[in-house]
A and B are shown apart, each in its own frame.
Chain A
Amino acid sequence: MRSTSRSFAARAVPPIVLFLLLLGAWQGATYVQNIPRYLLPGPADVFAAAVANWRKLAGATGVTAAGAVCGFAASVFWGTLIAVLFSQSAMIRRSFFPYAIFLQTVPIVAIAPLIVLWSGTGFRSVVIVAFIVSLFPVVTNATAGLTAIDPDLLDLFRLHGASRWQTLVKLRLPSSVPSIVTGAKTSSGLAVIGTIVGEFFVGYDASERFGLGYLIQQSSDQLKTDLLFCAVLLSTLLGLLVFLAVGAVGATILHRWDAGSA
């Protein structure tokens, strides 16, 4: 325990020191060069903006977090379900996979008008964008996990006359939990990005509830660069938080799966 906490300190201290140095240099540069605040606000300005607008920022972060969590949950659920379907037949896999790749490659900006057309603007459309953006990693990882089953174990199941359903529920799904967790980790980061991008393109017109994406756009339009910095910072922190949370949940689930599985 001690050694892990020490190594954590060893890993954590250098980036923190660097961060503080950069912060100081940034503040110094804006002060010495006399850069206008709408171009580059100093850390102190950003901090002041955060304090002044904390209610707005907290609300936006909450809305974005909710969108990301909904999109992520939908991705894990539907992604796993699609992967289960894929795992049942190579034919299905071959037929559908190109279209799954389409979801991965199509620029979300290009289909945003369609989403607005079909679903309107607002929270639901934002979740749809987050879902589309974060679905692919779950599908690919879960499919890989569901199809790469130890052949000896498949033999064992066959030997005891296991049905397709029994093999799925008692072997394929539990075996692929580590892959699904890996996919979910990637997907969680993308869900946050997807939500913010969604808020840009299919977000809220001018309602009282809005997310960080909307705030970024609005503060950029109004040259409130200090507020823009706050929103960007919070987006990053939110992404990191969601990623870490999913990682922690994953590690708890995977506790049984690691090492010694042979």
Chain B
Amino acid sequence: MIVDSDPEESIHVSANAVGMTFSSGHVAVADASFTIGRGEFVAVVGPSGCGKSTLLRMIAGLIGPTRGQVTVGGQSAVEACRRQRIGFVFQDPRLLPWRTAAQNVHLPLELERVPRPTRDIRVPGALALVGLTPSDAVKTPRMLSGGMRMRVSLARALVTDPDVLLLDEPFGALDDILRQQLNAELVRIWMQRRPTTVFVTHNVAEAVYLSQRILIVTPAPGRIAGDVRVPFEYPRGAELRATAEFARCTGDISDRLRESAS
């Protein structure tokens, strides 16, 4: 299956000369412009502290830019976050420890006051989508492994069937095998649901494996130093990682990341 996207055709997220200066005076993002097409999977790579997370929070409408404009579905992101369904996955699972896995996944539907019959269908659906069994669903986060907790966190972001899925280095704390496994599952889920996905990471191989396009961000204050199309077709198997093209693509982007940092 070939997933082609034409961002020109239907722009979902756009940033126009966006800057973010915090009240402390720290310039997190200097001048970033990019567009993301509807249903596209874009990875954002850059060194730690380059303002990638700030960009993601601006797309989510959690913070407004101090310069320029971020729009989602044609509206300013801060406005749009009330109308668009947005799923956000944090660096850590960030689960509520007093709730079971299923109750954690249930939370966004409660907050958005989704009618109960819909909730009762959505929650098991989301849990199954990320590969959690009914016996895992009744466990509290304390009883789950790190990988399982991340799956719950992913299910919580997916349960509202979001238009936009934002992930902030979600698998950074997991070991390599688990990370690759969850990467494969994320691609599968994305192909199934096709949310517009923005995945922030500092791991280039992960970005190449997952995304259709990669935005390279300079060290703070963040600028977009590159916009690279990833040439591989979906579905992407684990064997892709072992190919020469994959290594070349990863190497290219690592080089550009280094150049932009110097």
B142's contact among A153, A170, A171, A258, by CB below 8 Å, is which? A258
Least CB distance from A261 to B in Å reads: 4
Contact A261 B142 (CB under 8 A): yes
The answer to whether A257 touches B62, judged by C-beta atoms less than 8 angstroms apart, is no
Q: Closest approach, in angstroms, between the C-beta of B63 and any C-beta of chain A?
A: 9
Q: Which of A161, A177, A262 contacts B111 (CB 8 A)?
A: A161
Chain A 179-202 interface residues, beta-carbon cutoff 8 Å to B: none
Within 8 A of B (CB), among A139-192: 150, 152-153, 155-162, 166, 170-171, 174, 177
User: Is A261 a contact partner of B57 (Cβ separation < 8 A)?
Assistant: no
* Interface contact A160-B112, CB-CB below 8 Å: yes
Whether the Cβ atoms of A174 and B90 lie closer than 8 Å is no
With a cutoff of 8 Å between Cβ atoms, the chain B residues found around residue A260 in the complex are: 97, 141-142, 144, 149
Instruction: Tell me whether B96 is interfacial, beta carbon within 8 Å.
Output: yes
Check B94–A156 contact: CB distance below 8 A: yes
With most chain A CB atoms within 10 A of its CB, the pick from B57, B107, B144 is B107
Count of chain B residues with a beta carbon within 8 Å of a chain A beta carbon: 27
Q: Is the interface of B mostly helix, strand, loop or mixed?
A: loop
A191–chain B nearest beta-carbon distance, Å: 27
In chain A, what residue has the closest Cβ to B112? A160
B residues less than 8 Å from A10 (CB atoms): none
Contacts of A156 in B (CB 8 A): 88, 90, 94, 108
Q: Does A259 contact B (CB under 8 A)?
A: yes
A258 — which chain B residues lie within 8 A by C-beta?
Answer: 97, 142
A261–B60 touching, CB < 8 Å: no
How many Å lie between the Cα of A213 and that of B160 in the bound state? 60
In the complex, B86 has a CB within 8 A of chain A = yes
List the A side residues contacting B116 at CB < 8 Å.
none
Q: Is the CB of A256 within 8 A of B82?
A: no
Could you mark each residue 231-261 of chain A with 1 if its beta carbon is under 8 Å from any beta carbon of chain B, else 0?
Answer: 0000000000000000000000000111111
B residues less than 8 Å from A256 (CB atoms): 97-98, 140, 142
Considering the complex, give the chain A residue whose CB is closest to the CB of B97.
A261
B224 close to chain A: CB less than 8 A: no
> How far is A259 from B110 in the complex, measured between Cα atoms in Å?
25
Give me 5 A-to-B residue pairs in the complex whose CB atoms sit less than 8 angstroms apart, sorted by A's number.
A152-B92, A153-B96, A161-B112, A260-B141, A262-B149
Additional A-B contact list (10), CB under 8 Å, known A159-B86, A174-B98: A155-B62, A156-B108, A157-B111, A161-B111, A170-B111, A256-B140, A257-B98, A259-B142, A260-B144, A262-B95
